[in-house]
A and B are shown apart, each in its own frame.
Chain A
Amino acid sequence: MAALELLSAEGFRPDGRRPAELRKLRARMGVFAQPDGSAYIEQGNTKALAVVYGPHEMRGPRSKALPDRALVNCQYSMATFSTGERKRRPHGDRKASEMSLHLKQTFEAAILTQLFPRSQIDIYVQILQADGGNYCACVNAATLAVIDAGIPLRDYVCASSAGLVEDTALADLSYLEEAAGGPQAALALLPTSGHMALLQLDSRLHQDRLGAVLEAAGGACRAVHAVLDRVVREHVREVTALLGD
């Protein structure tokens, strides 16, 4: 297989984007009737579904209930048809457990858990098609689902990935760019305060380039925030119109 140029001479990426350009982002809230909140997001070819139940009483061992805040329980799973080769284990393997932990950590920081002591909030995320930026799509979908469920958040949690190719920082990596093995960062940001709820970096990146990559990721997160905000407002407008003022 011929090596694909990740950045052409004119500065275009394999899918025709500019380095700082995001993939097309489309989202819908309230896709399911049963759960308290649900959302579906498409970032380029990556499709993710998120569903939120809660806050409700603790299920399982009561001893795990926290006396002063809610417990956030996340599960990340990839559909067996989501990747090029059929996935044998949708969840339960190490990578999925790690993703679930990261999601839990992100949302524990963002949700105002002090308002719901001794209760549990469940967030289930399913990847329907994986084309790079799995974690980021999950976080964005879960944010919308949590907003749909009416659970109070400190701020939107917007996530985006970023990488580096020949001294140029790329935002929102696709699967091709991730598989190439270059440095890649995933960032979950609370846009208003600029705080990072989660930062993850893989592969070798020189210390001096760290700032550039983080800036690119931060910019992409803010762009995602603008889109998500628009989606939420549209949804609220639709729902209130249906309810008839």
Chain B
Amino acid sequence: MRETPLSNCERRFLLRAVREGKRLDGRQCYDYRNVRISFGPDRGCCVVELGRTRVLGQVSCELVPPKPNRATEGILFFNLELSPMAAPGFEPGRQSELLVKLNRLIERCLRNSKCIDTESLCVVAGEKVWQIRVDLHLLNHDGNIIDAASIAAIVALCHFRRPDVSVQGEEVTVYSPEERDPVPLSIHHMPICVSFAFFQQGTYLLVDPSEREERVMDGLLVIAMNKHREICTIQSSGGIMLVMDQVLRCSKITAVKVAEITELIQKALENDQKVRKEGGKFGFAESIPNQKITAFKMESAAVDTNNVEEQAEEIITKADPPSEVFATPILHAPGTAQIGEGIENSWEDLEESEREEEVEEEGESEAATSECQRMETEDTSTISKAKDEPIVLSDSEEEEVVILEPQEVPNKTRTQTTSKQENTSKKTFNKRRRKKRAAR
């Protein structure tokens, strides 16, 4: 289904907030949302939550023949999927631009930067190598998918253990986890992506944009770096015009953020390792917070509420007093009250003509009823006379409408003629009304 478009007033509100240096969730311009990493029971499975954006990462491995031009290297395959449960705009099966962009960015960030030693994945040169497959699923979209996905990918790779293999001549033995402990992958460094959203041709920038901020931004700059301050990938998108010192400034901010996030990842991995070793409970059931329906818990927003009262007072004193105060409501009927009279109706023409019509209608209906009454009281001529009268019944609105005059009708056929007269008068009256409508 299509994404609901952002209303203009919401867009203006967000842009003005950015100009004043404020963000909807109370963060500063360079602040990240809370990152929460939790691991599943299997090795290589993790869920990363960046604020409310949630990505699930799973690593698996398989023995395959290598690529012909790289016979001694293992294969790394990344796949990011935008699940339809993440946002209403995502549809299954259709490969959208966003998907291509994100997938390519993850590939370049993790594969081209050689964070994993692919040579160590070789089992028998030219015949068997390990193919490591990283599947990332976006579970909830609240902005900044790329950051969350890159964290999930690298955490899952660090967490993963592959089966141990031994080669004796031509024989290759793959040991199951019971026979020999699985072996971790050899990871050189951990590249993490940091996204910058640009507003107003690069004057304002925000780190870690939320979904609303992403909708109104001019463009995005993604810088992937590891903790050794080596840039792994830079990608600008959205057609923003960058200047070199903007890029250099962003890279400095990235270095700071990446250091923080890498520390967090290390701690999470250590915690999980400890829990598994000690035989404690681990897995999603333990790590993902238990959110009961009957309890309502909100994260505390980082908004400064120290001098809220003074600020509120100021706003109140500056504001205009309300225009008019209606003291007494008018009670029309039990359960229906009216306060004031509302704004004046600006549909003037409509009202006038409506009023005209009403008057006419009333007049006509009155005339009709008076006619009927007169007919009833009178003892007049026969039906034939009524029949002789020309009755013009055409569908054309252009033609002149002939209005029948009240006739002298005989007593016996009183009821019939009256009904006939009524009908015709009604018809003419209807026609008149239609004519009036057309003219309008």
Contact = CB atoms under 8 A, between A and B. Distances in A.
Interface string A73-90: 000000000000100000
Contact of A98 (B104, B228, B240, B243): B104
B233 A202 contact: yes
Interface string A82-125: 00010000000011011001000110110000000000000000
A190 B240 CA distance: 12
Interface in B81-131: 95, 97, 100-101, 103-104, 107-108, 112-114
B337 to A, nearest CB: 45
A59 interface: no
Contacts of A195: 241-243
Contact of B251 (A105, A108, A183, A207): A207
A196 B236 contact: yes
A98 B101 contact: yes
B239 A218 contact: no
Interface string B210-223: 00000000000100
Contacts of A105: 237-239
B231 A210 contact: yes
Nearest to B104: A98
B243 A205 contact: no
A165 B440 CA distance: 80
A27 interface: no
Interface string B222-262: 00011011111111111111111001100110010000000
Contacts of B69: 85
Given A97-B100, A210-B247, A199 B242 contact: yes
Nearest to A107: B239
Interface string B59-83: 0000000000100000000000000
Contacts, number: 94
Nearest to A195: B241
Interface residues of A, number: 35
B244 A200 contact: no
Interface of A is mostly: mixed
Contacts of B231: 183, 201, 204-207, 210
Given A94-B100, A207-B251, A196 B230 contact: no
Given A101-B100, A200-B236, A205 B230 contact: yes
Contacts of A108: 239
A211 B103 CA distance: 27
Contact of B244 (A97, A106, A202, A218): A218
A85 B69 CA distance: 10
Given A204-B113, A210-B248, A211-B248, A190 B232 contact: no
A210 B244 CA distance: 10
Contacts of B221: 199
Interface string B248-282: 10011001000000000000000000000000000
Interface of B: 69, 95, 97, 100-101, 103-104, 107-108, 112-114, 221, 225-226, 228-244, 247-248, 251-252, 255
11 contacts: A94-B100, A94-B107, A101-B100, A105-B238, A194-B243, A194-B244, A200-B235, A200-B236, A202-B233, A204-B226, A206-B230
Interface of A: 85, 94-95, 97-98, 101, 105-106, 108-109, 181, 183, 185, 190, 193-208, 210-211, 214-215, 218
Given A181-B114, A210-B248, 6 more contacts: A185-B234, A196-B241, A198-B236, A203-B114, A204-B114, A206-B231
